[in-house]
């Protein structure tokens, strides 16, 4: 049974403001919760109906789940976790490859970018405060479990990049050919927002921009698609 207070808390977690206040987030759905548990992700509590094949800290009826759920069609499980409010350690960006997201607003793109960072074995993802919220259902779901594995930190990019001490490479429509990238064991790759690209503040901090050669007439590539091609080229250059 869910108490009235619990129900109110679970429902409130769909809003970023409440997540921040409470230091908690919620994620729903058998597939996504299973992926995260399989990756060893810790949850505070797992509310689940009898249809959930795993363990539940809070067994609930379907009626209660329907009242707690953020979805029109509720799933059998809703997991609550503690927000990760990690900060960048001093000098952290100096080690390994970082994907920096500068105002990427589509949560599906943010999740896919975290998945890409996981695939290519990057050290971390840094999200500017203007990005889609790291702890939203859509971001976590689109990451396909990579949310549990990738170190992701929200930080103002200007300050972080100014002291990075490593090459800061922007993905842009006008830049050096991405295939000419040198071997860079330590670097930051910046992905700009879908509509406006890289912000002026961050643009001023780039070591240089890279471009994926275009042979056709498409105006641009999707942010996640471009990031993957740049990561593949970086990894290839490292041999």
Strand partners, 208: 169
In the complex, minimum distance from the CB of residue 24 to a copy of itself, in angstroms, rounded to a whole number: 26
Site string for a copy of itself, 109-138 (x = CB under 8 A): ---x--xxxxxxxx----------------
Of 8, 57, 61, 220, the one binding a copy of itself (CB under 8 A) is: 220
- Tell whether the torsion through CA atoms of 179, 181, 185 and 189 is positive or negative: negative
With CB under 8 A as the contact rule, the residue among 11, 58, 149, 203 that binds a copy of itself is: 149
- Determine, following the binding rule CB under 8 A, whether residue 224 of this chain makes contact with a copy of itself: yes
196 near a copy of itself, judged by CB under 8 A: no
Give yes or no for residue 215 binding a copy of itself (CB under 8 A). yes
User: For the chain, what percentages of helix, strand and coil (3-state, to nearest 5) are there?
Assistant: 35, 20, 40
How near is the Cβ of 146 to a copy of itself at its closest, in Å?
5
The 3-state DSSP class for residue 33 equals helix
Q: Per CB under 8 A, does 214 bind a copy of itself? A: yes
Tell me whether residue 75 or residue 233 sits nearer to a copy of itself (CB atom): 233
Query: Tokens standing for 7?
Result: 């129900």
Q: What count of residues does the chain have? A: 239
Least Å from the CB of residue 107 to a copy of itself: 13
Least separation, in Å, of the C-beta of 39 and a copy of itself? 8
* 146, 168, 190, 193: which one binds a copy of itself (CB under 8 A): 146
Pair of tokens at residue 12: 């409130």
**Total binding residues for a copy of itself by CB under 8 A?**
37
- Count Cα atoms within 13 angstroms, Cβ side, for 139: 22
157: left (phi over 0), alpha (psi -120 to 50) or beta: alpha
Please report the beta strands in the chain, taking only residues with DSSP state E, as ranges in sequence order: 24-28, 45-48, 58-59, 77-82, 97-102, 124-127, 152-154, 168-177, 187-192, 208-211
Q: How far is the CB of 222 from a copy of itself (least distance, A)?
A: 6
Q: Which two tokens stand for residue 170?
A: 């922007």
Residues 21-40 that bind a copy of itself (CB under 8 A): 39
Residues contributing to the site for a copy of itself (CB under 8 A): 39, 112, 115-122, 144-146, 149-150, 178-179, 212-222, 224-226, 228-229, 232-233, 235-236
């Amino acid at each position: 049974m869910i108490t009235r207070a619990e129900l109110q808390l679970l429902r409130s977690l769909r809003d970023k403001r409440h997540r921040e206040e409470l230091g908690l987030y919620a994620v729903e759905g058998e597939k996504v919760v299973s992926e995260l548990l399989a990756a060893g992700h810790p949850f505070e509590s797992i509310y689940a109906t009898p249809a959930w094949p795993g363990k539940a800290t809070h067994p609930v009826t379907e009626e209660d789940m329907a009242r707690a759920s953020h979805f029109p069609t509720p799933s059998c499980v809703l997991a609550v976790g503690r927000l990760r409010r990690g900060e960048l350690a001093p000098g952290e960006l100096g080690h390994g490859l970082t994907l920096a997201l500068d105002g990427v607003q589509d949560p599906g793109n943010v999740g896919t970018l975290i998945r890409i960072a996981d695939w290519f074995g990057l050290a971390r993802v840094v999200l500017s405060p203007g990005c889609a919220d790291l702890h939203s259902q859509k971001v976590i779901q689109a990451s396909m479990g990579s949310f549990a594995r990738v170190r992701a930190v929200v930080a103002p990019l200007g300050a972080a990049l100014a002291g990075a001490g490593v090459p800061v490479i922007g993905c842009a429509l006008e830049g050096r050919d991405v295939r000419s990238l040198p071997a860079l064991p330590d670097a930051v790759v910046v992905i700009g927002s879908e509509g406006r690209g890289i912000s002026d503040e961050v643009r001023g901090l780039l070591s240089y921009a890279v471009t994926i050669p275009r042979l056709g007439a498409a105006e641009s590539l999707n942010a996640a698609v471009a990031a993957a091609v740049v990561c593949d080229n970086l990894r290839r250059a490292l041999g």
